Structures are given as structure tokens and as C-alpha cells.
Amino acid sequence: MSSYIKESQYFGEKAIVFGNSQLEAVLVPGLGSNLISLKSKSKNADLLRVPESKSQYEKNPCLYGMPILFPPNRIDRGMFTYGDLTYQFAINEEKHNNHLHGFLYDKPWELIKQEQNGESVRIVTEINSDDYTSITEQFPHSFSIKMTYTLDGSSLSTNATISNHGTTKFPWGLGYHTTFNLPFSADGALEDCTVSLPVDEHWTLSERKLPTGDIVKLTDAADFQQGISLSGKLFDDVYGYEKESELVNEAVITDHNEGIRIHYKCDKRFGHWVLFNGNGKDLSGFVCPEPYTWVTNAPNVELPDSVTGVRELKPGEEVNLISQLIVDTF
């Protein structure tokens, strides 16, 4: 069966449905270019958590699909200084007086290309900061981000291209709040599922969920790397790995009963992982292994940029960031 691309509607927004003989995905450019759905055809399983209604999605859009975070996670009081500029982001986590998850995940993106070739499909979306005063008021730079989604066989890869179109440098951090629907079947059990992360360090967080600057070596790093059960456990934790580590930078999400294993590979610039699976009140049937290029509140953490992941993009420069979901069935 060859690949295909179809236009559809998702909560009143134009959606792109694309697939091949193994996987089918739904991308909604108008909802932050969210890859809202990814299905395994052979298992008839939703791999990403999908909302049941528009109102459910709007309550917390970062808990469905694969939201794009720029910058990722929290900024203390929404404020930091870099070079000669002091940035003030909106406070959207009032409980902790933080800014949370950036300003792109809820903006409409433009669909600029869709093409197919055999079993392969490529979809490209883009957002330009100059089109949104709500972005430039917080982050006064001219930049664009282009997302290229490539579906090929049993893999879906993403290439994020960040381009600086302005006359000043800026700091940047990118991440994904990828929310997997675990277990992968409605009658599945969390006891049959494991998640592994390529980590050996744990960042200590304050009561406001901000790094204190203390980094602790994981005594159970081998367990995390081989796969842990989430049964009876709640996570909202920040992890990292030593830059000299030879670990493959991938999370592995496995439903042993359903026979599905997902390898979530990221390039080495995604040097931090957040593991989140609930709100402290219940276990909600999902898990978010979130790859970040910078750690939570990175510009305000008093550690070297090589540790926090803060990077800068000079005028005229661009950077490409690669990640990939590989779906194995057994």
C-alpha cells in the first residue's frame, strides 16, 4: 500500500491526515502544528494521547499529541536577562508564578508543503515571529521555525529548523511535550509497560518546580536505562546525562502485553529529559518523556551554558534539530 495524504477537519481546524501501510498520523497546523495523532495500523492502537473534545484539549493542549515548546518548561517569574536584553514572558502558571512552555504551541502555523513518494510522506509547516505581536512583545526577535515531518515505513521523523532573520543574536531552547497513550490499548495494564531514558543525572527541583542548581548522580541509572515500570509512581522530574556519555539518546516506551515498542530518538543537542505522567492526584494513562535542548529555567540557572543547554543563534544563522519515532511491533 502506497502512502497517502488527505485533508480533514479536527475541532474545526484544517487537518492533514497522512499515512502508509504501517502508520497513520494527523497534523493540525492551526493548533500549534501539533501532531495530534499517530496510530499503529497492525495493532489498531493510538500511540499518542488524543483529546475527546475541543474543550478537553483547550484545558491543557500540552497533554495531547506532540506540542512544540519554544522555549520548553518553566521560566522563573517569566523573566531572564541575556546580553543587553531583559525578557519578560507571560505568567501562565499562576500557581508558581512562572511562564510555562513558551509561545508557539497555541499559535496557528502555516502549511507550506506536502508531498509523497511511495511509502514516504513529507509535510512542512512554518511559523514566523513577525506575524504575531504576542510573540515579539515577549521575545523581540525576527525568527522562524520550520517543522518537517517525514513518515517513512514504521518511522516518523521531525526536523525543526530555527532561523534568525533579525539583526541581533538570541538565546534559544526547544523541546517537545510528546504525550504517549500508555498503555496502548484500552484494556491494557500499566504493570505491563516500561519506559527507559538515557539518563544518569537528576536535577533537584524547588517547590516551584525550578532547578536549584544541584545535580545528583542517579544510583538507579541502570534501571532507567533498561526500563522502569510506571505502576504506582508519579513523575514530574528533570534528568540529564553526561555529555561524554556513549548512551544512545533515545527513550523507549514499551507495552509488553500489546506488543508495541517505540524508540524515541533525538540528536545529542537534546541533552535533557523530563519525565511526566500525572498531576499528583491520579495516574492518568499517559506518559510524557520530554526531550529538551535546555533545562527548565536554563537562562536563570547559575551554571555554565554547556550544562544548562543555553545556546545562541546569531543573525543569519539557522539550526536543525532532529528527532524520530520508530514503532516496532512484536
pLDDT per residue of the chain (330 residues) written in tens, 0 to 9: 589 999 999 999 999 999 999 999 999 999 999 999 999 999 999 999 999 999 999 999 999 999 999 999 999 999 999 999 999 999 999 999 999 999 999 999 999 999 998 889 999 999 999 999 999 999 999 999 999 999 999 999 999 999 999 999 999 999 999 999 999 998 899 999 999 999 999 999 999 999 999 999 999 999 999 999 999 899 999 999 877 778 899 999 999 999 999 999 999 999 999 999 986 555 568 999 999 999 999 999 999 999 999 999 999 999 999 999 999 999
Residue 22 is given by DSSP the state S
Specify whether the CB–CB gap between 38 and 27 falls below 8 A: no
Number of neighbouring beta carbons within 10 Å of residue 136:
16
What is the per-residue pLDDT for 119?
84
What is the per-residue pLDDT for 242?
78
What is the per-residue pLDDT for 186?
87
Tell me the CA distances in angstroms from 142 to 37, 59, 169, 172, 294, one per residue in order: 31, 30, 10, 13, 21
pTM: 0.96
Specify whether the CB–CB gap between 196 and 224 falls below 8 A: yes
What is the per-residue pLDDT for 1?
57
Residue 203 is given by DSSP the state E
Task: Using CB atoms within 10 Å of the CB of residue 296, give its burial: 0 to 12 exposed, 13 to 18 middle, 19+ buried.
Answer: buried
What is the per-residue pLDDT for 280?
55
State residue 237 phi and psi, 5-degree precision. -125, 150
Cα 110 from chain centre: 19
User: Which residues does the annotation mark as catalytic?
Assistant: 177, 290
Tell me the CA distances in angstroms from 76 to 91, 93, 99, 189, one per residue in order: 9, 10, 7, 37
DSSP letter string over 66-87?
A: --EEBS-SEEETTEEEETTEEE
What is the per-residue pLDDT for 121?
98
Residues belonging to the chain: 330
Number of neighbouring beta carbons within 10 Å of residue 261:
17
